[in-house]
Structure formats: structure tokens, C-alpha cells
């Protein structure tokens, strides 16, 4: 077996960055902090690429890709006991390498690297520049640690760390009330989901009698004693296995912004734009998908109904998010809903998949889409970053005609939009076709939803594209009035353009990777057969969506407004994102606060505090009472000393006899 | 024999060697600047620590069973070597201006040698000798703030209290000797079941038990005095307050820790037949100690006095851990002492720096310290968090293992009392942190220029506080050694 000891450095390098920048970033390393953070993540990215080369290369070299029995086996690269409480219970730290974790470290470290580079230009001149890079490094560490976790408890630790660093980054502009509110909202909503996750972990590990993924999956997919005990125990009519898996999925749904726990994601766009690219598009939000994929054998082999929940939640989220994206006017919110929609695709692809062989197409397609989506969605966000940097506004209505001023951004953004719309030969086409094929093979309803959503996707993405880059001279005037904006492209620094070009190349070429030879549900390479005829419907629908967007938004016209007023109420309903936020506000403010919050506050103020205050004054009273003991006189001390001995002797010789 | 002697006594010899070197330097001390001498001493202590760490684990018994050492004891001594080095580094600013810096080290290292002999003692006589060898120089050290009357007062109180406790300890030892005819701990332990029997022949079974319990109470009072268990603790606050800060730190961490190590050996070997009696005694004393330490700490306005009472409360917690089963008790106590060493020396280190430069020791003086001295403030805060047992500092893990060990006996009322006391202690630790970080002050302590050596010591303490808990192998290593008494 090859030596993978260096893997530990992949998360540790960003951690070192966080520690150094956290301690010294504000003063000593101030000017240098961006370079330091970027250098460390670059090293981590190179190590990740080497790891991928070694892992997949060795697998292929050993037995040949197409030959049977050449599965990529999970490798426990390292493992040590962190805390041992008793012989039966210890918490380990381990590094697990399997196709999905290797793929994820590549994705996470590369996107993180791009964002680090981009931020050099974007965040230049920020007062808390060093702090920003410290937080970015913390996030990279947590995310890399999350994907490499070899046991479920370790994953939970990193899961929370990811949540924490996301909170810090969303609230980076802490002097803006909206950013503070958004970071709190993200934290509370995901925390709510994490509670489910934690209970799920406890159920699975209690019955599985292990925290380790490999052992857990083995025990829960074969008729072992643990499997029998967890399936025979039931609660409210469902087996505890279903409960455990569903609760774990709720945790994943919170982090991945699945309906109805998605409300934090659009608000999270208050963070700096590169952060949105890294966390709320490419990496953190797919943690939920990764989690389901990690436990996929258990879902698939032992509890198909739970997997059904995953499929329907994913499909519904994909559809509803796409509809909401069609009416938003804030560029980053459109991208946020589009992210939610694409993650919905990944979820339902997992949901319709089976374990092993060709039936595992959905699993492979989901991971493939995760991979391609990370690239083009990060690209879209970074393009948005460039645009916002130039226009100083998030509103699409304030933009237009920017293609002449930002030609490079225009090309990159176009590539990304084509990729997400599933137009061949861009990367999104390949992954989306396979998702739809997998859905077609197992569930026609979900296929229909996916197909319709892909048309919507093309429409709202090109609505964004045309609004920004075409549609009349509006934006030109605006930018011309801006004294900072010179001619054409001069003011966008190289550090911001380079990541765009790299990611755009990725969006062009990533689809050509024979992904199914590397990442499959059981590690066995499969060959995919997507008939050409199958692609006609989605591509045609996407082209129709693009055409509609061009007709509505290609030039200045009042067509969009007329259309909006024609469907009036429906438009407003969607525009206000189905009033989901308002429903939540109603539930929390009116119902929870009045029925639970107020009585609890009363009990806290009058009974708990009263008890505590009483205890405190009692303690103070006793303390004053015995003050005399410490008189400072030696003779008193000697007296207490002898009394103590005499007392102990009498007590234990005559009274408290054993 | 010769080689074996040197190998077994290596750590003691190293310490004594340093004392001899210092003695020679003293003869020509006019020629050297105090800074040079201090630098040299610290280098020597560092070498001493390194030599101790590199020492091959040996199992040696010397002097006809009077002295024994093994891997666990070597580890314990290394912990104290480290502590002494840290204290020495922290004392730099204070000693720089002191005209008798060399004598300070000679006394300090004599004490350390005494403690080493005490931990390694194979019979009660050696134990007693070691104890006295450590006590008398310590009394002189308490008096080392030569101009301060309080310091003299501390020394007098210390030596007189020690006299009581030594007398009673000797009384206990002689009772044991009279009953059994041996001072050897190994023989006493081996005659586990014989001991009461043999005495029963003379005194009748009730009488033998009573005699044994009484001898134990006397011995216990000797230990309890040293580690400040209530009600034998009264000297602690006065001596801690009057002594120079480094001496206080030494008293609270090293001399206390060493006595704990000796105590736990005696409990689980020699006095194992009395386990049921001493278990109840320890429970009673632990509760008393925690409560008294905490209740007094609540009222203190001076930081040193607060730390004195807090250290009494910590002793109560250690007693909780001691009541568990032998191996876990031993492991949790040793681990906690290591953690406590880092945390307490961190806190005392800050006090030492501030006191040496400004002479201020009140909690009110520390208000607004964060504005002027963020480094010192963070060291203090991290140390206090660890003392209070807040995760993720090592103090949390230390307390956790102590309570787990205590809980092994199933006495949950007792463990709940201990947990409750942790809550009380939180109040006064947080009070200091609040003063440092949140309270406004018109005349805060000015920006202090910390010398290199104390700064290194403080950083080591912080690193220790943060890492000892998170690195799981530390506890595992200690646990793996802990079965050997």
C-alpha cells in the first residue's frame, strides 16, 4: 500500500495559516497575510492533487480500469486515539481516503485556492484583511478535515467548525446590521438542523456500537447483531434505523439549504462575495450531499424509504428554488437560489440511485455534478464579485451593457451560464444528463421535475446574464459616472482575473473527465451509456429558456414588467419567495415566543434566578461567618490543627467504624 | 553497585551537582553580574530537565530498600524539574535586583532534592528526611523578600506550623514502628493482612484497629498539612501572601505535588488494609477542603490570596480523584498535577511579572490590564480558565478525569458536591477575568516590558495548558505507567 502519511498536512497547513494569521495577522503580518494564507492553501492544493494522482493512479495501475475487481478501496491513511474514556469507548482521529473524499479534497482545496487568490484583489484595502484570511484559512481547515473524517464523531466536530467559520465569514462586515442578522440566522437554522444530526449520530453509533464509518456501514448493511437490534427497535412506528438516517439527513439538509431549511442561504449573501463563492456555492453547502453519500450504502441497502425522503426533498427543493430564482433582482440572491436548486439535483440523484453497478449511476452522477457545479458556481460568484466591485451594487436593475467594460468577465460568465444550463460541451451538460438519465431509469415523476427545472435554470441564468451584460446603455452611463472606472478592463487586477480564467477552463473541460471510472457507489468503475437522443429534450428546453430570457431581457423593453403584472399575484408570491421567511417569523415570534419563550423567561427570572441569588447570598453569608477562622494567629492555627486530628481520630475510631 | 548507584540517583545527583557548582560560583561571586549568573543557572536547569527526560527508564532499589525509582517516579521528577525551571524563568525580573540571587537557587534546589528523595522513599525514615530537607529551606525562602515584614512573618508561621506537623507525623511513624517493628514501606505493604493481625495479638482486634487508625490519622495530618487540606490549611494563606511570588508558586505547585505523589503511594500500598476508613476520611476532608477553599476565595481582594485559597480548593478536587481505584486514581492525580502546574504557574507567572515591576497585587489593580498588556491578560485568562476547568483547556480534562476516577466508586452525592464546587469556583475566577478585560480603570497598570525569560516561561505554560488536554497520548502515557506504585 502506498504511503499516505502526508495527507494529514492537507488540513493542517490551513490550520497553521489560521493560527499564524489569527495571532499576528492584525499587526505583524498585516501586509503579508494574504500571501501567507494563499501560499499555504496552494501547498495544500498541490498535496491534494498529488494525493488524487496517487490514489486513482495506483488503483488504475494495479488492475486496469475497465477490468472487473479493480475497485477503489477505502484506505484508512492514518488513525490515532484521541481520547480514550474506557476500553470500549474512545474517540479516534483518522483520515479516510476513498474516491469521494479524494475528489472532495481536490475540489475544496482548488476552489479555496482560487478564492484566496481572488480575494487578494477583491479585499485589498480592507481594514481587517488579516482577520479575513485567518477566517478563510479556518474554513479551509474545517472543510478539508470534514471530508477526510474517518469517523462520524470527528465529522461532527468539523461539521460544527465549518458552521462556526461560516458564521464568522457571513458576519465579516460586523458593522452592518443586515450582515449580523444574516450570520445569526444562518447559525441558528443550521444549528437547529445539527441537533437532528447529533441525535441521528447518537442513534446510529449507539446501536452500531462504533463511531468508525467503515465498521458502522459494514454492521448496518449486513445482518449483524447490531443491524438486527437497530431494525427491531422502533419509535412511533418507524425503525430506529430510519429515524437515525432521517435525522442525519436533516442535519445535511440544514447545511445544504434544502427546503424548508433553506432560508438562511439567500441572507448569507451578506458576506464578502468571494466567501459566498467558497462557502455558499462550492464547498460547505455540499457537505450535506457529501454526508448522505458517505452513508449511502446504509441508506441504499438497508433503508430505501429514507432514501426516498432524500429524493423527494431534493427534487422539490430543486424546483422551488429555480422558481424563486426567476424573480429575484439581487445578483447574489439569484445565484444563491440557483445553488439551492443545483444541490437539489445532487440530492435527488442520490435519492434515485441504487448501490453498485449500473444502478449506481445516480450516485456517480450526483458526485459528478457536485464536482462540476463547484467549478462553474464558484466562477459565477467570482464574476459577480468583479461586477459588484465595478458597479458597487448588487441590483441587476442597476447594471446593463457591461460586456464592453468587462470583456473577460463577460466571456467567463457566459461560459459558466452555458455550463449551468447544461449546454454541450460545457461541464454541466455531462453531469446533468447523467442525473436526468438516472432519474428517468428509476422515477419518472422526479425526472419530469428535473427536466422542467433544467429549462427554468437556463431561463433564470440567462435572465441574469442578459440583464448584466446586454440590455441597453443603462449600466454604461452609471459606470462612466463612476470616477474609479476607467476605460475597459484596466482596473480589474490580475489576481481577480486569473481565477476567472482557471475556473472558466474548468467549466469548459471538466465534463470530459471520465468520472464514472473514478467515483462510483461501490468503487467499481462503470461505463455510462447516455443515448444521444436522450439529450434532445433537456437541451431543447434549455435553449428555449435561453431564448425566452433573450427576448425578455436582451434589450431594454417593458416586456418583463408587462409579464409580471399579467400574472400579478403569482409573481408577487414568488418574488417574496413564497413568504416562507414570513411564515417562520410568524411561528417563532407569535407562537414560540408567546407560548414557550415568555413562560420560560418568567420561570428563569423568578424561580431559577431567585434560587441562584438565594444560593449566592447564602454562600456569602457562610463565607462571612467562617472568616474568623483565618485570624492570622499561630496559636489559633495550632488549635485547629490539633482539634482536626482529635476530631478525625474520635470520629473514625469510635463513631464511624468500619 | 557504583554504576547502579549513579544510574538510580541520577536526577538527585544532578540537582545536588548544580548546588555545588553554585557554591563555587558563590565563592567568587563578586566577579559576575547577577544577570550572568541567572542566565547560567537557567541553562543548568534546562540541561537538568533535558538529562532527566533522556534518562533511560530504570527500575532501581538502593540503600537496602530505602530508595527506589522507576519509570513513573522518573516522570514525576521530570515534571518537577520542568516546574522548577519555569519558576526560575519567571523569577528573573525579581531576582535581577536581589542581592542574594545565588542563595535563592541553592535553597530552592536543596528543597527540590529533598522532594526527590521523599518521592523515592522506600521507608518512612527516608520519607521523613526528604520531607524535612524540603521544608527547612522553604521556610528560609519564604523570608526572601528581606525588606518586607510580611515575608518574615510568613517564614515564622511556616516553620512553626511545620514543627507541629512534623512532631505529629513522627508520633504517627513511631506508633507504626512500635506496633510492627519495621519502617520499610515495602514490608509494611507486604504484611498487608498481617499488620492488623500481628497487632491484634498484642492489643485485641478492636484495639489494633484503633491504634492503626490513630497512627494513620497522625500520618495523614502530616501529609494534609503539606498539601493544605482543611483543617490543616490555615498557614497557607498567610504564608502564600507573605512569601515572594516565585516561592508561593513553588509552594503551591511543586512541594504540594510531590507530597501528593508520596501520599498516594502510601495510601494504596501501606494503608490498603485501612482502605474503607481512609476512603471515608478522604471524602469528608475533600468536601471540607473544596468548600472552605472556595468560600474563602470568594472574599479575597488580593490576587495572591485568591490563588492561595483557590489552590486549597483544587486540593479538594485532587482528593476526589484519589478516592478512585488505584490505577485511575494515580493516573488522574498525576495528570492533574501536570495540568495544574502549567495553569497555576501561568497565573502566578503573570502575578510575578506584575508584582516585580509595579508591586501591585490587588484584583482592583488589574482592572483594564487588557488595554495595556494584552499578552499578560491572555496568559492570565487562559490559565484561569484552565483552573476553573473550562474546555478546551487542559484543566477541563484534568478535572474530568479526577471526577471520573472519583465516580468509579459510585458515590454520586460526593461527585455532585465536587461538581457544585466547580460552579462556585467559576465565580471568583471569572471575577478576575472580568476585571482584566471588562472593567474600566483610570489608572491601569502601564505597558510592561517583559523580559525574554519570563515571556518564554509564560508561553510554555500557555502551550501546556492548551496542548496537554488536546493531545490524548499524554494521559494515555501516564495511565500506562500508573499501575506501578
d(CA A31, CA A129): 8
Q: Which of A262-276, A507-521, B374-388 has the lowest mean pLDDT?
A: A507-521
Helix (H) or strand (E) holding A93: strand A89-97
Among A82, A83, A641, beta carbon nearest to B164? A641
Chain B residues in contact with A648 (beta carbon < 8 A): 217, 220-221, 281
B385–chain A nearest CA distance, Å: 19
End-to-end CA distance of chain B: 24
pLDDT of residue B380: 92
Say if the Cβ atoms of B213 and A649 lie within 8 Å. yes
Q: Which of A47-51, A317-321, A392-396 has the lowest mean pLDDT?
A: A392-396
A355–chain B nearest CA distance, Å: 38
B327–chain A nearest CA distance, Å: 13
Among B157, B213, B218, beta carbon nearest to A634? B157
d(CA A526, CA A328): 40
Q: Which residue of chain A has the CA closest to B225?
A: A641
pLDDT of residue A88: 65
Beta strand A238-239 with A234-235 is antiparallel
Whether residue A365 contacts residue A489, with contact meaning beta carbons closer than 8 Å, is answered with: no
Among B210, B225, B280, beta carbon nearest to A653? B210
- Nearest alpha carbon to residue A431 among A454, A398, A403: A454
Res. B201 pLDDT band, cuts 50 70 90: low
Res. B137 pLDDT band, cuts 50 70 90: very high
Chain A residues in contact with B210 (beta carbon < 8 A): 653
Whether residue B281 lies within 8 A of chain A, CB to CB, comes out as yes
Res. B3 pLDDT band, cuts 50 70 90: low
Whether residue A348 contacts residue A324, with contact meaning beta carbons closer than 8 Å, is answered with: no
Say if the Cβ atoms of A81 and B218 lie within 8 Å. no
Res. B116 pLDDT band, cuts 50 70 90: very high
Whether residue A144 contacts residue A254, with contact meaning beta carbons closer than 8 Å, is answered with: no
Q: What contacts B252, CB < 8 A, 6 or more positions away?
A: B240, B307, B308, B311, B344, B348
pLDDT of residue A616: 75
d(CA A336, CA A282): 11
Say if the Cβ atoms of B217 and A643 lie within 8 Å. no
Say if the Cβ atoms of A82 and B221 lie within 8 Å. no
Q: Which residue of chain B has the CA closest to A653?
A: B210
Q: Dihedral sign for Cα B318, B320, B322, B328, please.
A: negative
Helix (H, G, I), strand (E, B), or coil: what is residue A283?
Answer: coil
d(CA A286, CA A343): 7
Say if the Cβ atoms of B220 and A634 lie within 8 Å. no
Say if the Cβ atoms of A641 and B165 lie within 8 Å. yes
Report DSSP state, residue A511. G
Q: What is the ipTM of this complex?
A: 0.81
Q: Whole domain around residue B238: which residue ranges?
A: 2-482
DSSP-assigned states of every residue in A377-423 = HHHHHHHHHHHHHHHS--BGGG---TTTT-HHHHHHHHHHHHHHHT-
Rounded to a whole number of angstroms, the CA Rg of chain B reads: 22
Chain A residues in contact with B225 (beta carbon < 8 A): 641
Q: What is the mean pLDDT of residues A15-44?
A: 80
Say if the Cβ atoms of B218 and A637 lie within 8 Å. no
Among B214, B277, B424, beta carbon nearest to A658? B277
Chain A residues in contact with B238 (beta carbon < 8 A): 632
Say if the Cβ atoms of B472 and A80 lie within 8 Å. yes
Whether residue B197 lies within 8 A of chain A, CB to CB, comes out as no
Say if the Cβ atoms of A644 and B232 lie within 8 Å. yes
Q: What contacts A395, CB < 8 A, 6 or more positions away?
A: A329, A330, A331
d(CA B234, CA B288): 13
pLDDT beyond 90 at A636: no
A653–chain B nearest CA distance, Å: 6
The torsion angle over the Cα atoms of residues A239, A245, A246 and A252, rounded to 10 degrees, is: 170
Res. B196 pLDDT band, cuts 50 70 90: low
Q: How many residues does chain B have?
A: 485
Taking residue A631's Cβ as centre, other Cβ atoms within 10 Å add up to: 13
pTM for the whole structure: 0.69
B26–chain A nearest CA distance, Å: 36
Chain B residues in contact with A80 (beta carbon < 8 A): 472-473
Say if the Cβ atoms of B299 and A643 lie within 8 Å. no
Say if the Cβ atoms of A626 and B164 lie within 8 Å. no
d(CA B476, CA B485): 17
Whether residue B133 lies within 8 A of chain A, CB to CB, comes out as no
Whether residue B288 lies within 8 A of chain A, CB to CB, comes out as no
B84–chain A nearest CA distance, Å: 29
Report DSSP state, residue A279. I
B24–chain A nearest CA distance, Å: 39
Say if the Cβ atoms of A649 and B225 lie within 8 Å. no
pLDDT of residue A551: 81
A116–chain B nearest CA distance, Å: 29
Chain A residues in contact with B469 (beta carbon < 8 A): none
Whether residue B190 lies within 8 A of chain A, CB to CB, comes out as no
Chain B residues in contact with A641 (beta carbon < 8 A): 161, 164-165, 221, 225, 231-232, 234
pLDDT per residue over B219-262, tens digit each? 899 889 888 898 888 888 888 888 888 899 999 999 999 999 98
Chain A residues in contact with B164 (beta carbon < 8 A): 638, 641-642
Q: Which residue of chain B has the CA closest to A615?
A: B424
d(CA B260, CA B255): 9
Q: Which of A40-44, A74-78, A563-567 has the lowest mean pLDDT?
A: A563-567
Per the structure, the count of domains in chain B is 1
Whether residue B277 contacts residue B216, with contact meaning beta carbons closer than 8 Å, is answered with: yes
pLDDT per residue over A400-443, tens digit each? 777 777 888 888 888 888 888 888 888 888 888 888 888 888 88
Cis peptide before A358 (omega within 30 of 0): no
Helix (H, G, I), strand (E, B), or coil: what is residue A327?
Answer: coil
For chain A, give the mean pLDDT: 81
pLDDT of residue A487: 40
Whether residue A632 lies within 8 A of chain B, CB to CB, comes out as yes
Residue to mutate among A81, A652, A654, A657, with most B CBs inside 10 A, is A652
pLDDT per residue over A295-322, tens digit each? 888 888 887 888 888 889 999 998 888 8
Q: How many residues does chain A have?
A: 658
Phi/psi of residue B182, nearest 5 degrees: -140, 150
pLDDT beyond 80 at A627: no
Chain B residues in contact with A632 (beta carbon < 8 A): 238
Chain A residues in contact with B237 (beta carbon < 8 A): 630
pLDDT of residue B334: 92
Q: Which of A554-568, B19-33, B350-364 has the lowest mean pLDDT?
A: A554-568
Whether residue A621 lies within 8 A of chain B, CB to CB, comes out as no
Among B210, B217, B475, beta carbon nearest to A645? B217
pLDDT per residue over B347-370, tens digit each? 998 988 888 888 888 888 888 888
pLDDT of residue B340: 93
Portion 80-139 of A in contact with B at CB < 8 A: 80-85
Q: Which residue of chain A has the CA closest to B476?
A: A84
Interface size, chain A vs chain B, as Cβ–Cβ contacts under 8 Å? 82
Res. B450 pLDDT band, cuts 50 70 90: confident
**Orientation of helix B124-142 relative to helix B149-180, angle to 10°:** 170
d(CA B225, CA B167): 12
d(CA B286, CA B76): 23
A260-284 per-residue burial string, b: 16 or more CB within 10 A, e: under 16? ebbbbbbbbbbbbbbbbbbbbbbbb
Q: What is the mean pLDDT of residues B202-230?
A: 81
Portion 113-132 of B in contact with A at CB < 8 A: none
Amino acid at each position: 500500500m502506498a504511503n499516505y502519511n502526508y495527507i494529514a498536512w492537507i488540513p493542517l497547513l490551513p490550520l497553521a495559516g489560521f493560527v499564524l494569521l489569527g495571532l499576528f495577522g492584525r499587526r505583524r503580518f498585516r501586509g503579508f497575510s494574504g500571501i501567507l494564507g494563499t501560499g499555504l492553501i496552494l501547498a495544500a492544493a498541490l498535496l491534494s492533487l498529488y494525493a488524487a494522482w496517487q490514489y486513482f493512479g495506483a488503483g488504475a495501475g494495479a488492475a486496469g480500469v475497465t477490468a472487473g475487481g479493480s475497485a477503489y478501496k477505502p484506505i484508512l491513511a492514518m488513525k490515532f486515539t484521541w481520547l480514550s474514556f474506557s476500553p470500549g469507548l474512545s474517540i479516534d482521529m483518522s483520515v479516510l481516503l476513498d474516491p469521494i473524499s479524494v475528489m472532495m479534497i481536490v475540489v475544496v482545496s482548488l476552489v479555496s485556492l482560487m478564492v484566496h487568490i481572488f480575494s487578494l484583489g477583491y479585499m485589498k484595502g480592507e481594514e481587517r484583511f488579516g482577520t479575513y484570511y485567518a477566517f478563510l484559512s479556518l474554513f479551509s481547515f474545517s472543510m478539508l478535515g470534514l471530508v477526510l473524517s474517518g469517523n462520524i464523531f470527528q465529522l461532527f466536530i468539523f461539521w460544527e467548525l465549518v458552521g462556526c467559520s461560516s458564521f464568522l465569514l457571513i458576519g465579516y462586515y460586523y458593522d452592518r446590521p443586515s450582515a449580523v442578522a444574516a450570520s445569526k440566522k444562518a447559525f441558528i437554522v443550521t444549528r437547529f438542523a445539527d441537533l437532528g444530526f447529533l441525535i441521528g449520530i447518537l442513534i446510529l453509533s449507539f446501536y452500531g456500537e462504533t463511531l468508525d464509518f467503515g465498521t458502522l456501514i459494514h454492521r448496518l448493511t449486513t445482518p449483524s447483531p447490531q443491524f438486527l437490534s437497530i431494525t427491531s427497535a422502533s419509535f412511533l412506528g418507524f425503525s430506529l434505523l430510519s429515524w437515525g438516517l432521517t435525522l442525519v439527513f436533516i442535519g445535511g439538509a440544514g447545511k445544504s439549504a434544502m427546503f424548508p431549511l433553506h432560508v438562511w442561504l439567500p441572507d448569507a449573501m451578506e458576506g464578502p462575495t468571494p466567501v459566498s463563492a467558497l462557502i455558499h456555492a462550492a464547498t460547505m453547502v455540499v457537505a450535506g450531499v457529501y454526508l448522505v453519500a458517505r452513508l449511502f450504502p446504509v441508506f441504499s441497502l438497508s433503508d430505501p424509504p429514507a432514501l426516498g425522503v432524500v429524493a423527494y426533498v431534493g427534487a422539490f427543493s430543486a424546483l422551488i428554488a429555480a422558481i424563486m430564482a426567476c424573480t429575484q433582482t439581487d445578483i447574489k440572491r439569484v445565484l444563491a437560489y440557483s445553488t439551492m436548486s443545483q444541490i437539489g439535483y445532487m440530492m435527488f440523484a442520490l435519492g434515485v440511485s441504487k448501490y453498485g453497478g449500473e444502478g449506481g449511476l445516480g450516485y456517480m452522477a450526483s458526485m459528478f455534478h457536485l464536482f462540476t457545479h463547484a467549478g462553474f458556481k464558484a466562477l459565477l460568484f467570482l464574476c459577480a464579485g468583479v461586477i459588484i466591485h465595478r458597479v458597487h451594487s448588487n441590483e441587476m436593475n442597476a447594471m446593463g451593457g457591461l460586456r464592453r467594460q468587462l470583456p473577460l468577465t463577460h466571456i467567463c460568465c457566459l461560459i459558466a451560464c452555458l455550463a449551468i444550463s447544461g449546454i454541450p460541451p460545457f461541464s454541466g451538460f455531462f453531469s446533468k444528463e447523467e442525473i436526468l438519465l438516472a432519474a428517468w431509469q428509476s422515477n419518472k415523476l422526479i425526472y419530469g421535475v428535473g427536466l422542467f427545472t433544467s429549462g427554468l435554470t437556463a431561463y433564470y441564468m440567462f435572465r441574469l446574464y442578459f440583464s448584466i451584460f446586454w440590455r441597453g446603455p443603462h449600466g454604461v452611463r452609471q459606470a462612466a459616472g463612476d470616477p474609479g472606472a476607467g476605460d475597459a478592463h484596466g482596473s480589474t487586477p490580475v489576481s481577480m482575473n486569473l481565477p476567472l480564467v482557471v475556473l472558466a477552463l474548468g467549466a469548459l473541460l471538466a465534463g470530459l473527465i471520465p468520472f464514472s471510472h473514478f467515483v462510483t457507489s461501490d468503487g467499481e468503475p462503470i461505463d455510462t451509456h447516455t443515448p444521444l437522443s436522450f439529450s434532445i429534450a433537456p437541451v431543447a428546453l434549455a435553449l428555449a429558456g435561453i431564448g425566452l430570457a433573450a427576448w425578455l431581457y436582451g434589450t431594454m423593453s417593458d416586456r418583463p414588467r408587462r409579464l409580471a403584472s399579467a400574472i400579478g399575484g403569482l409573481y408577487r408570491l414568488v418574488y417574496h419567495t413564497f413568504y416562507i421567511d414570513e411564515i417562520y417569523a410568524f411561528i417563532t415570534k407569535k407562537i414560540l415566543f408567546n407560548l414557550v419563550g415568555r413562560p420560560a423567561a418568567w420561570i428563569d427570572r423568578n424561580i431559577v434566578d431567585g434560587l441562584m441569588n438565594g444560593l449566592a447570598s447564602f454562600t456569602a453569608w457562610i463565607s462571612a461567618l467562617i472568616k474568623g477562622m483565618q485570624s492570622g494567629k499561630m496559636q489559633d492555627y495550632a488549635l485547629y490543627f490539633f482539634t482536626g486530628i482529635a476530631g478525625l481520630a474520635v470520629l473514625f475510631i469510635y463513631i464511624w467504624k468500619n | 553497585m557504583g554504576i547502579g548507584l549513579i544510574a538510580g540517583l541520577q536526577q538527585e545527583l544532578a540537582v545536588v551537582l548544580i548546588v555545588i557548582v553554585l557554591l563555587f560560583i558563590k565563592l567568587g561571586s563578586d566577579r559576575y553580574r547577577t544577570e550572568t549568573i541567572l542566565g547560567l543557572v537557567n541553562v543548568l536547569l534546562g540541561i537538568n530537565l533535558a538529562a532527566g527526560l533522556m534518562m533511560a527508564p530504570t527500575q532501581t532499589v538502593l540503600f537496602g530498600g530505602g530508595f527506589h525509582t522507576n519509570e513513573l517516579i522518573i516522570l514525576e521528577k521530570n515534571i518537577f524539574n520542568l516546574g522548577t525551571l519555569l519558576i526560575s524563568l519567571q523569577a528573573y525580573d525579581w531576582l535581577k535586583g536581589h542581592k542574594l540571587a545565588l542563595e535563592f537557587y541553592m535553597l530552592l534546589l536543596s528543597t527540590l532534592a529533598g522532594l526527590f528523595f521523599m518521592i523515592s522513599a522506600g521507608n518512612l525514615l527516608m520519607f521523613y528526611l526528604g520531607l524535612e530537607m524540603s521544608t527547612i529551606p522553604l521556610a528560609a525562602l519564604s523570608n526572601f523578600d528581606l525588606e518586607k515584614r510580611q515575608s518574615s512573618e510568613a517564614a515564622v508561621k511556616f516553620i512553626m506550623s511545620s514543627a507541629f506537623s512534623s512532631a505529629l507525623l513522627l508520633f504517627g511513624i513511631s506508633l507504626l514502628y512500635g506496633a510492627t517493628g519495621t519502617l520499610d514501606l515495602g514490608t509494611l505493604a507486604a504484611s498487608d493482612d498481617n499488620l492488623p493481625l500481628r497487632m491484634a495479638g498484642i492489643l485485641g482486634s478492636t484495639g489494633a484497629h484503633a491504634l492503626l487508625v490513630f497512627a494513620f490519622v497522625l500520618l495523614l495530618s502530616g501529609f494534609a498539612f503539606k498539601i493544605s487540606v482543611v483543617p490543616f490549611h490555615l498557614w497557607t494563606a498567610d504564608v502564600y501572601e507573605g512569601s515572594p511570588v516565585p516561592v508561593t508558586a513553588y509552594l503551591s505547585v511543586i512541594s504540594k505535588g510531590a507530597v501528593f505523589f508520596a501520599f498516594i503511594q502510601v495510601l494504596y500500598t501501606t494503608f490498603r488494609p485501612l482502605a474503607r476508613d481512609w476512603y471515608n476520611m478522604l471524602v469528608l476532608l475533600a468536601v471540607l477542603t473544596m468548600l472552605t477553599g472556595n468560600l474563602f476565595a470568594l472574599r479575597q481582594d488580593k490576587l495572591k490570596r485568591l490563588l492561595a485559597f483557590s489552590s486549597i480548593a483544587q486540593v479538594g478536587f485532587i482528593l476526589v480523584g484519589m478516592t478512585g481505584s488505584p490505577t485511575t486514581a494515580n493516573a488522574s492525580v498525576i495528570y492533574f498535577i501536570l495540568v495544574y502546574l502549567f495553569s497555576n504557574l501561568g497565573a502566578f507567572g503573570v502575578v510575578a511579572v506584575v508584582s516585580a515591576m509595579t508591586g501591585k497585587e490587588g484584583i482592583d489593580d488589574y482592572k483594564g490590564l487588557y488595554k495595556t498588556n494584552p499578552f499578560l491578560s491572555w496568559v492570565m485568562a487562559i490559565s484561569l480558565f484552565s483552573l476553573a476547568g473550562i474546555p478546551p483547556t487542559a484543566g477541563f480534562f484534568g478535572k474530568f478525569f479526577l471526577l471520573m476516577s472519583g465516580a468509579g466508586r459510585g458515590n454520586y452525592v460526593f461527585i455532585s458536591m465536587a461538581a457544585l464546587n466547580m460552579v462556585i469556583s467559576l465565580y471568583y475566577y471569572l471575577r478576575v477575568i472580568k476585571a482584566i478585560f471588562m472593567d474600566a480603570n483610570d489608572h491601569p497598570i502601564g505597558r510592561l516590558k517583559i523580559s525574554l525569560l519570563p515571556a518564554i516561561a509564560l508561553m510554555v505554560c500557555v502551550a501546556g495548558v492548551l496542548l496537554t488536554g488536546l493531545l490524548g497520548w499524554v494521559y494515555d502515557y501516564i495511565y500506562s505507567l500508573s499501575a506501578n506504585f
